[in-house]
Chains A and B, each alone.
Chain A
């Protein structure tokens, strides 16, 4: 249908062009048109990204759908795109999530609709760009440009404390990213190009590797976010509108871990090995400590935000144990968390739209008035706590399997958190969904509309499908991951 040559460009530019079209509808008098255009744009984005999966050669480890053309010759920067088994699934996830977010914001957003929808479409294209870019400057451009729409989404459509959250989000991320830029420039001065694949091959001394590792670490750890640079996330999540939280949790957090896999590990393998203890420690702190923090949250969005940090701890843990189980587990966990966290934030959004409260204490017995919703909420909560047959189980199980080969106690600590995960999620569900109807407001709640049912239903299918039959996901990444591992095993010294 589409030529393999320009597929990735389409995936990036279709949503952006659609975003411009949506923006052109102007004021809220044309809100209906803006919504329809946005949905068409998001669906078109999804349609053009599907061939990436169907035409993907799972037996090949290298880059596919490669596009390359000169861009800024002065610095030998190229417009170089390509995906491998590590990145392709994220592009699909991004396009899929964009459709959900557009539908989820259909009725809820009434102010400046065109700008809201356009921001998500721009972000979709830019995020796809991050996953497809193979030139460091191109990667950086997408990586940073993506902050602009997110900043506006939190700041314009967010909650009462939105300005603080938006600025904190932006500056935190910017600081990390700029150090990564310095690392890129340094590598450029050694290599002479900004090609990420050339960066993979350049040999570096241990000092250089350590410094570059920390420069990358600043960018990616903030994004993941890892303990102790996670403090922007709860603020951003709580203040962001539902759509913003969904994109933030489902995709933006994955970029940090993706950065570790695409840049840190292959460019500075020796430093990554040397500092793996450090990374594993931080990951375990995130998994255990943040899990405990999540337990005491009174605000549902905050609870899910902390749960995200804890789950992302599994991802970084899997990344830095250097075996196939760990990395594939991390990737599966990222995709799965993309579905589950999106679903949970949407569920909270559904409640918030009706009650204008995110406090657990304001709810109770929701199942009596919203049975369909309760079913979905319980399913996603189970998935979040890693119940077998849901996608949440697969990734965590693989990471724990990988970890146990390295060190029993690491695996033990990681496994303990499955208990924490179950406690904070299920306890929240218990207090919100079950029991007697807590107050009149809950008594008057209307169950989910067909629009909300569609969004949650799609996610439920994804969560169950991935939990029951993860092979289509893992076979895509398999060769790329083993290629990455063999690359990382070679010293660059």
Chain B
């Protein structure tokens, strides 16, 4: 038996990130607290390097390696680039926040990088085991990130909940994968798809496995009825970690769904469509209704996430390339909005004060008109009001669902988004119509302040000219799934 060296080129970004994460882990031991910023800079450089490697090593056609366990294709490259961007933004927004809370440690950066590595592996996986590996790497890093604030009872509780429920979901997923393996005789996504297409596989076992897989996926996406962890974790975790959980992992979760359902189990599309439909309807309803009752903005945004994931499912469940690229656009738009909204919470926080109650936004227009305007754009975008990117995200998933013939679903989604508009409007009301409760000057954070401006303007600019991003999504889905 001869040993053939695998083609490492598609995995170069992952290898680089792994090396750098280990390097930072070691280097950080030798840094005094005063020089901790070196770890921060190294982390940002890692992202930059990974981006450069991804661009220069990426190819237009899918390249499989490690015996078909790993794939580099356009969708993977685009999603990875977006992940780097999101993680870089998370780090910039968090810098001052974690410094003030003694979380500005090497562990934070290393865990973030390992979590990102997990996402990258998920995005590029073409084998159930690789997918699972990436997912666990991501999840374990996130569990520890949530618990990073050791002396906070709330954070620890959130981490426990997240861990127990997450482990359960992973178990479900793994069980489902084993069923599929039993029915098709393979764990490789391409071969599973072929086996299902041929029709020889036992339908009962397949469907049984599918149910477990969908349940696991639903947990990771955070859609009803597997959403229980989201509000608690979002509220309990330090805002910097909430921002992280609420942004980049959504991209990975989207890739995860694409790889499993759209590529691997495409032959069972009629079976999973129904399941996703139920989850989409429930998520949009419960997410939006529960968000109205919240007074904590992190918790409110957690429920809003649930409803957004419901919308995301609308595109996926239409089961067409058009639908997939709409969902991809939706997830990217969502990440952009989520970054801005949690970033804003951190900008308004200061030492010993978390701006996490809705009332902390009161009168923001009088304190900082520009921040209020940025938040206004983000909130209208979340509500799906033009001319912001959120509108086109909704438009594209709605048209995908309607093209697939789900008129009633579209009407339902539209009604739910009116309910959703109510609580987004409430934030605008607090910022613009009310007098400030708190006159403390906002800390000046030039880097995060600059980024939030860019973030808000991106929401608007991509709302006026969404075509490039839409075309990119359509192109990558076309290239990867055809």
A170 and B421 form a contact (CB under 8 A): yes
B402 and A144 form a contact (CB under 8 A): no
Within 8 Å CB of B392, what residues of A?
A: 72
Q: Nearest Cβ distance between residue A121 and chain B, in whole angstroms?
A: 15
A144 and B385 form a contact (CB under 8 A): yes
Give the interface of A toward B (CB within 8 A): 26-27, 71-75, 112, 115, 137, 140-141, 144-145, 147-148, 151-152, 155-156, 162-163, 166-167, 170-171, 174-175, 178-179, 181-182, 185-186, 188-189
Check B422 for interface membership: any CB of A closer than 8 A.
Answer: yes
Say yes or no: A185-B399 contact (C-beta < 8 A), given A170-B421, A175-B418.
yes
Give 19 CB contacts A-B under 8 Å: A26-B369, A72-B466, A75-B399, A112-B365, A147-B385, A148-B376, A152-B432, A155-B433, A170-B421, A171-B421, A174-B421, A178-B414, A178-B415, A179-B411, A181-B395, A185-B398, A185-B402, A185-B410, A186-B402
Interface residues in B406-436 by Cβ distance below 8 A to A read: 407, 410-411, 414-415, 417-418, 421-422, 425, 428-429, 432-433
Within 8 Å CB of B422, what residues of A?
A: 167, 171
Give a binary string over B219-239; 1 marks a CB under 8 Å from any A CB, 0 the rest.
000000000000000000000
A141 and B391 form a contact (CB under 8 A): yes
Closest chain B residue to A114, Cβ basis? B369
Interface residues in B384-401 by Cβ distance below 8 A to A read: 385-387, 391-392, 395-396, 398-399
A166 and B399 form a contact (CB under 8 A): no
B421 and A189 form a contact (CB under 8 A): no
Within 8 Å CB of A178, what residues of B?
A: 414-415, 417-418
Say yes or no: A162-B399 contact (C-beta < 8 A), given A145-B386, A179-B414, A182-B414.
no
Check B380 for interface membership: any CB of A closer than 8 A.
Answer: yes
Q: For the complex, give the distance between the alpha carbons of A144 and B432 in Å.
A: 19
Q: For the complex, give the distance between the alpha carbons of A179 and B466 in Å.
A: 22
Say yes or no: A71-B395 contact (C-beta < 8 A), given A145-B387, A189-B402.
no
Option from B365, B391, B466 in Cβ contact (under 8 Å) with A144: B391
Q: For the complex, give the distance between the alpha carbons of A179 and B415 in Å.
A: 8
Check B22 for interface membership: any CB of A closer than 8 A.
Answer: no
Within 8 Å CB of B411, what residues of A?
A: 179, 182
Check B470 for interface membership: any CB of A closer than 8 A.
Answer: yes
A71 and B433 form a contact (CB under 8 A): no
Option from B376, B403, B425, B465 in Cβ contact (under 8 Å) with A170: B425
Give the interface of B toward A (CB within 8 A): 365, 369, 376, 380, 385-387, 391-392, 395-396, 398-399, 402-403, 407, 410-411, 414-415, 417-418, 421-422, 425, 428-429, 432-433, 465-467, 470-471, 474
Closest chain A residue to B388, Cβ basis? A145
Please report the number of residue pairs spanning A and B whose Cβ atoms sit closer than 8 angstroms.
92
Identify the interface centre among A155, A163, A185, A189: most chain B CB within 10 Å of its CB. A185
Closest chain B residue to A73, Cβ basis? B467
Closest chain A residue to B426, Cβ basis? A167
Option from A73, A115, A170, A182 in Cβ contact (under 8 Å) with B398: A182
Q: Nearest Cβ distance between residue A57 and chain B, in whole angstroms?
A: 32
Q: Nearest Cβ distance between residue A29 and chain B, in whole angstroms?
A: 13
Say yes or no: A181-B433 contact (C-beta < 8 A), given A141-B386, A170-B421.
no
Closest chain A residue to B470, Cβ basis? A74
Q: For the complex, give the distance between the alpha carbons of A137 and B471 in Å.
A: 17
Say yes or no: A181-B425 contact (C-beta < 8 A), given A72-B470, A141-B386, A186-B407.
no
* 7 closest cross-chain pairs (CB), A and B: A141-B386, A178-B414, A74-B470, A155-B433, A175-B418, A185-B399, A72-B467
Within 8 Å CB of B403, what residues of A?
A: 189
Within 8 Å CB of B399, what residues of A?
A: 75, 185, 188-189
Q: Nearest Cβ distance between residue B45 and chain A, in whole angstroms?
A: 35
Closest chain B residue to A155, Cβ basis? B433
A163 and B433 form a contact (CB under 8 A): yes
Within 8 Å CB of A162, what residues of B?
A: 433
Q: For the complex, give the distance between the alpha carbons of A71 and B468 in Å.
A: 10
Within 8 Å CB of B414, what residues of A?
A: 178-179, 181-182
Q: For the complex, give the distance between the alpha carbons of A105 and B89 in Å.
A: 42
Given contacts A167-B429, A185-B402, 14 further A-B contacts (CB under 8 A): A26-B369, A73-B471, A74-B467, A74-B471, A115-B369, A141-B387, A145-B387, A156-B365, A163-B433, A167-B425, A171-B418, A174-B421, A181-B398, A182-B414
